[in-house]
């Protein structure tokens, strides 16, 4: 069985409908998922405990980095976690990967706009993947293996009212997102116990 670590980078998961639904639904769908909420994990001085964070990453067969798509990237909280935890000498050295070398990762993002909005004809002139170049380069540098990026589109900040067609579409998009994540996780055998 593959053990997945779902790192939630939403800065206030309790106030989120979309990201909280993804976290809860993925944990319900797969028996071996550890949910790690970065919004609750920081200690004094907004610092992460490097020993705890490293142990969580070490124990995982696959890591899912979940975040809203903010300002053309993952959340600031996710960036803060990477900058503190993926420390030089542990996660990488001047030559590249160490502790995360070969570790499978999946990016799980929620975006407010619909998919056509992120295209040359849309109000955002590039696909989401283009905006993620610094994120994917970071993963490459530490030697991580990016299994895929799953984006749930057309999820505005506030969920639509219940019992409306828009809410049904919203919830369907979240369910499809979780199914795609689960399929990627279940297809992972790297590091899983034989």
Tell me how far the alpha carbon of residue 138 is from its chain's centroid. 14
Higher pLDDT, 155 or 191: 155
Residues 6+ apart with CB under 8 A from 127: 118, 119
Q: What is the pTM of this model?
A: 0.92
Q: pLDDT tens for residues 45-73? A: 999 999 999 999 999 999 999 999 999 99
Q: pLDDT tens for residues 73-126? A: 999 999 999 999 998 788 887 766 689 999 999 999 999 999 999 999 999 999
Q: pLDDT tens for residues 117-146? A: 999 999 999 999 999 999 999 999 999 999
Residues 6+ apart with CB under 8 A from 173: 152, 153, 154, 155
Asked if residue 157 has pLDDT above 60, the reply is yes
If you average pLDDT over residues 12-37, what whole number do you get?
A: 96
If you average pLDDT over residues 23-44, what whole number do you get?
A: 96
For position 145, what pLDDT does the model report? 96
If you average pLDDT over residues 39-46, what whole number do you get?
A: 93
Q: How buried is 156 (Cβ within 10 angstroms: 0-12 exposed, 13-18 middle, 19+ buried)?
A: middle
The residue with tokens 């939630």 is 8
Residue 14 and residue 165: Cα distance in Å, rounded?
24
């Amino acid at each position: 069985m593959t053990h997945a670590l779902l790192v939630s980078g939403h800065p206030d998961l309790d106030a989120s409908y979309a990201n909280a639904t993804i976290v809860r639904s993925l944990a319900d769908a797969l028996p071996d998922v550890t949910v790690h909420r970065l919004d609750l994990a920081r200690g004094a001085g907004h610092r992460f405990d490097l020993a705890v964070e490293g142990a969580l990453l070490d124990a995982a067969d696959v890591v899912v980095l979940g975040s809203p798509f903010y300002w053309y990237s993952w959340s600031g909280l996710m960036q803060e976690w990477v900058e503190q935890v993926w420390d030089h000498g542990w996660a990488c050295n001047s030559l590249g990967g160490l502790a995360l070398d070969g570790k499978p990762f999946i990016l799980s993002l929620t975006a407010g706009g619909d998919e056509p909005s992120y295209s040359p004809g849309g109000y955002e002139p590039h696909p989401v993947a283009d905006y993620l170049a610094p994120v994917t380069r970071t993963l490459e540098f530490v030697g991580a293996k990016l299994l895929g990026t799953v984006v749930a589109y057309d999820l505005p900040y506030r969920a639509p009212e219940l019992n409306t067609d828009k809410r049904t579409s919203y919830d369907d998009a979240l369910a499809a997102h979780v199914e795609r994540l689960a399929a990627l996780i279940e297809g992972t055998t790297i590091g899983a116990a034989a």
